[in-house]
Chains A and B, each alone.
Chain A
Amino acid sequence: MVRTLRLSELQAAVKAEVQEISGPSAFRSRMLALGITPRSPVQILRRMPMGGPIEIEVRGTRLALRIKDAEQITVTVRA
C-alpha cells in the first residue's frame, strides 16, 4: 500500500519518495537544484525541538528545511 503525505508529516527514519513540489517558482527551482525532485528518495533524520526545522537526507546530502517549507513537498511511503 502506498501512502501520500506531506514531507513535514513524515516520521523520522522512514524512507519516502518525493512526489510533488508546490510553492513559488523560486522555491521550486531551489529544491530542484538541491536534489529534491520527483522520485528522489528522502528521509527525515531529526526534528529540532518546538516545531523547529527538520533535517533531511536526499541524494547523499543533508539539508535543513523549515516545517512551513516542508509542507510544500508531498512524499509517498510504501507501507
Chain B
Amino acid sequence: MRVALAGNPNVGKTTLFNALTGRHQEVANWPGTTVDYVTGRLPTHAGEALELVDLPGTYALEAYSQEERVTRDFLLQQPHDAVIVVVDASRLERNLYLVLELLEFTPRVVVALNMMDAAARDGLQVDAKRMSELLGVAVVPTVASRSTGLKRLIAAVRQVARQPAASVPASAVPYPDEVRRELIAPLTARLATLQGLGYRPEWAALQLLQGEDDVRSAVAALPRGSEAIALSRVLLAGEEGGRLRGGAMLQAARVASVDARGRQAELTLLLADSRYDLIAAILRASSRRRLRWRRDASEDLDRLLLHPFWGYLVMAGVFSAGFWLAFVASAPLSERVDRLLVGMGGAVAAWLAQAGAPAFLRSLVLAGVFPGVGAVLSFVPYMAVFFAVYQLLQDSGYMARASLLVDRFMQLIGLHGKGFFALVSAYGCNVPAMTATRVMENPRDRLLANLVIPFIPCNARLGVMAVVTAAFFPGAAGAVAMIGLILISLATLTLVAALYRRTILPTDPAPLVLELPRYHWPSWRTVLLATWHRVWLFLSRIWWFLIWATIAIWALTYFPAGQPLDHSYAGMIGQWLTQLVGRHFGFDWRLMIAILFGFVAKETTLSTLGVLYGSGSGYLSLSHALTQAMPPLVAFTYLVVYMLYVPCLSTVVQMRRESGAWSWAALGVAVNVGVAFAVGLLIERLGELLGLAP
C-alpha cells in the first residue's frame, strides 16, 4: 500500500514522516527535476506493508514552484492508496485550503492535525471529532515532534485505503447554486461519460472551467475529450451546451472562446471564496479560541531579528558563525581525510612496487586513482556541516527572516532574498551553494544563480590567492591586492548577472512570496537525516565522474611514458595554449598548464605550480620561484583569471545537475572562462597603461 504525505511548508510534515518511518528511508531524485524526495517503509509488524512518500511542501494543488509541481505530478499520475494531509493546527484557516482541494481530488484523505501543542499554547482548542464530521474524513490529532497520535493516524489510513471509492461523497464545498447548476453539473455529467478519464469527473470539471492546462491536455487525449473541453468553453460563455454533440459543439466553442478567459479568472476567485467560507464555518463549529493574553514569542524575536539595524547585525553574526562551522571548523577533518588517502595511496603504491607492478600502474594509483577519490571525499566534511547548518537555519524559521532582510539588496543583481544564503555560502564552497539555490521557486532565478555562483571565489581559491598575493605583494600591499581581487569578482558577478537577465534569462513576473513561519526548535533527527540524504545524493552522483576525470588528467601528464613533464601531452597542450592565449597575458606554458589542471580542483594549483616550477609546494621556495619567474602584473592578471574561471569539476557536474542539462553547464563554463580571460586581459592592459609593467 502506498501513501502520500502532503501538506503546506513548515507544518512538521517531514518530522512526522521521520517519526513514522524511522531509519527505513530511501532518498531519490524526481525524474527530470532537481527535486529530491524521500520514501520510507513503515515497520510491518501490523498489517500490510506500507510505503510512505514524503512529497515536497505545497500551498495548493495547482503548481507554482518546481517542488509543488512534483507534488502535483505525483498525486495526479502516480498510483497511491491514500493521502495524509498534514495541517498546522495553529494555522488552520490557510492550511484547510489544501485539504479542501485534495478532498475534491480524491476521497482517500486522512488529515493529520499536527502541532496540537502549539495551538493549545495559543489558547486554541480544536475538536477533531467535530471537524472530522464536517469534512467527511478522518481527522487525527498528532504532535509529530513527540510522536503522539501516530498509531491512530496509521489505523485511519489503513481504513481509508480499504474502503470503496464510491462510498465517499464528492466535493463538500458549497459552491453557489448557480455555478453548480450552470457550470459544474453539466460538465461533470459530460466528463463522466468519457472512457478512461483517470480523475473524478467533478474535479476534472472544476479544473477545466478554471483553464487548467494539465487536465485539459489529459482530457483532450481521450476519445470525445475535445468535445468536453469545447463544452467547458461554451458553458463559460454563458451558453447552454449540454445537448450539443460533435461538430456543432466545436463550432459553438469557437464562437464562445473569446470571453472564456475573463470568466475563468472570475470563477477561480469565486471557487476560492466558497472554500474559505466553508473553512470559516468549519472553524466556527469545531474550534474555540480562549482569549488569553499572552506575549507572542515569535513576534518578540522578530522585533529584534527584523530590526532595521540590529536585525542586520544579528544576521551577520549568525551567518559568520554558520560559515565558520561549515568551512573553517570542518577543515581539519577534510585535511585528515586527504592525508589518510595520500597515506593509503603511498602504501598501495609501495605494495605494488614490491609485487613488481609496472611503473605506470604505480603512478596511476598514486597520482590518478587516490587523488580522484580524495577529491570526492574531501568534500564530505564541508558538505555535511554545511547542510546541517543550512537545515538548522531553514527549519528554525530564521532563513525566511534573513531572506526578508536582504531581499532589497538582492534585487540589484536580479535575484530575490531567498538566494542570498546560497550566494554568500559560495565563498565557502560553490558546490553546496548550488544546491542551496533550490529554495528559489522560480527555475529561471535558480538557473541564473547557478550560472553566476562560480564567479564567487571559494575557500580553496581564496587560500591559493592569499599565498600568491603574499609572495608578490608583501605587507599592506597584499591586503589591497586581495580586496581588489574580491571587488573585481563582485563587479564581474553583477555585470554577468545583468547580462544574463538582458539576454537569455529575463525576469519572470513571479512574485516573492515568503511565509514567515513561527520560530521553533528544529528536531535533530530531521536535521541529521536531511543532511545525510543530501551528502549521499552528492556522493552517489559525482564520484564516478570525478575519478575518471582525475585519471584522464593523470594520463595526460604521464604519457608518452618516460618523458619529462614539458614533453608530456599535457606539456604540449600547455605550449599550444600559450601560443594561442597565454602570450597576450604574459603567461608561460607552466601557468597555462596550471590553469588547465585547475579545472579538476583549484586547491591543487599550489602543488601543480610547485611541480612545474621545480620548487616543491613549500611556501618559501614556491614564492621565491614564482617571483623569479614573472613580474607582479602578470601574477595579478593570473590571479584574476584564476579567481574567475570554473572552480572545479564538481561545480560543473553540480551545475549540470541543478540546471538539468549539459547544455546549460556548457554555456556556464564557456561564459565563465570567456569572462575570466576577458577581465584578465582588461586588467593586464590597464596595468600596462598605468606603467605597472616592467
Q: CB within 8 Å of B: which residues of A?
A: 21, 23-30, 32-35, 37-40, 46, 48-53, 55, 59-66, 68-69
Once the chains bind, are B60 and A65 in contact (CB under 8 Å)?
no
Q: List 29 A-B contacts (CB under 8 A).
A: A21-B269, A28-B269, A29-B272, A30-B64, A32-B60, A33-B64, A33-B98, A34-B59, A34-B515, A35-B97, A38-B269, A39-B273, A46-B302, A46-B306, A48-B306, A48-B308, A48-B404, A48-B407, A53-B404, A53-B407, A53-B512, A59-B94, A60-B90, A60-B91, A61-B515, A63-B515, A66-B407, A69-B511, A69-B512
Is B93 in contact with chain A by the CB < 8 A criterion?
yes
Once the chains bind, are A27 and B509 in contact (CB under 8 Å)?
yes
The bracket for how many chain B residues form the interface is 35 or more
Once the chains bind, are A49 and B308 in contact (CB under 8 Å)?
yes
Once the chains bind, are B276 and A35 in contact (CB under 8 Å)?
yes
Partner of A60, one of B93, B265, B302, B512: B93
Q: A residues within 8 A CB of B511?
A: 27, 30, 65-66, 68-69
Once the chains bind, are B94 and A60 in contact (CB under 8 Å)?
yes
Q: B residues within 8 A CB of A53?
A: 404, 407-408, 417, 512, 514
Complex Cα distance, B124 from A60, in Å, reads: 12
Q: Which secondary structure characterizes the binding site on chain B?
A: helix
CB distance from A31 to the nearest CB of B (A): 8
CB distance from B69 to the nearest CB of A (A): 12
* Given A48-B405, A55-B516, A65-B513, A34 contacting B94 (CB threshold 8 A): yes
Once the chains bind, are A63 and B273 in contact (CB under 8 Å)?
no
CB distance from A52 to the nearest CB of B (A): 4
Complex Cα distance, B97 from A60, in Å, reads: 13
Complex Cα distance, B275 from A59, in Å, reads: 13
Q: Which of B80-110 contact A (CB under 8 A)?
A: 90-94, 97-98
Q: CB within 8 Å of A: which residues of B?
A: 59-60, 62, 64, 90-94, 97-98, 211, 264-265, 268-269, 272-273, 276, 302, 306, 308, 400, 403-405, 407-408, 416-417, 509-517
Once the chains bind, are B514 and A63 in contact (CB under 8 Å)?
yes
CB distance from A14 to the nearest CB of B (A): 17
The 10 closest A-B pairs by CB, nearest first: A33-B60, A52-B408, A69-B511, A32-B272, A64-B514, A62-B516, A59-B93, A49-B308, A33-B59, A35-B94
CB distance from A34 to the nearest CB of B (A): 6
Q: B residues within 8 A CB of A34?
A: 59, 94, 513, 515
Q: A residues within 8 A CB of B302?
A: 46
CB distance from B11 to the nearest CB of A (A): 11
Q: A residues within 8 A CB of B272?
A: 29, 32-33, 37
* Given A32-B268, A51-B408, A64-B512, A40 contacting B276 (CB threshold 8 A): yes
Once the chains bind, are B62 and A24 in contact (CB under 8 Å)?
no
Q: B residues within 8 A CB of A24?
A: 509
CB distance from B268 to the nearest CB of A (A): 6
Q: B residues within 8 A CB of A50?
A: 408
* Given A35-B93, A59-B94, A30 contacting B513 (CB threshold 8 A): yes
Q: A residues within 8 A CB of B416?
A: 66
CB distance from A56 to the nearest CB of B (A): 10
CB distance from B402 to the nearest CB of A (A): 12
Once the chains bind, are B276 and A66 in contact (CB under 8 Å)?
no
Give B312's nearest chain A residue, CB to CB: A49
